Homo-oligomer: A and B are copies of this chain.
């Protein structure tokens, strides 16, 4: 899913930091404001899907205007996440790698997958709703 000249996350993060600095937006970019902005943008991505049927949602990228909106909101969410990481000093890829490792211990792969129903496997996390995220 990546092209030959694909930028790295670190390059994009730095470019966003330079972008904000050049426009003197840094005073607005507090951790709290950026966390709010990230949440707002995630809501805008969800808005695209809120009334769609499962069939419409699955075909979202085949409709050009919607596809553009989806890419645009993905970019906004990632932009604010990286700007948040800049101001708090978190390495997003390192944080995710560490979390995946914790999750591999927390949700072991069923040893005999052929004998286990899909629902049973998914149930502990997804159906209880108590720990409904991928991680902790």
Contacts and interface: CB of A to CB of B under 8 A. Distances in A.
A97 B1 contact: no
Interface in A1-34: 1-3, 6-10, 12-13, 15-16, 19, 22-25, 27-28, 30-33
Interface string A70-97: 1110111111111111001111111111
Interface residues of A, number: 96
A51 B16 CA distance: 17
Nearest to A130: B65
Contact of A22 (B49, B109, B132): B109
22 contacts: A1-B90, A2-B93, A3-B91, A7-B93, A7-B97, A24-B113, A24-B122, A25-B126, A27-B118, A28-B126, A32-B54, A37-B50, A39-B39, A39-B46, A40-B133, A41-B42, A48-B129, A61-B90, A74-B92, A76-B134, A78-B81, A82-B96
Interface of A: 1-3, 6-10, 12-13, 15-16, 19, 22-25, 27-28, 30-33, 35-52, 54, 56-58, 60-61, 66, 69-72, 74-85, 88-100, 103-104, 107, 109-110, 113, 116, 118, 121-122, 125-127, 129, 132-136
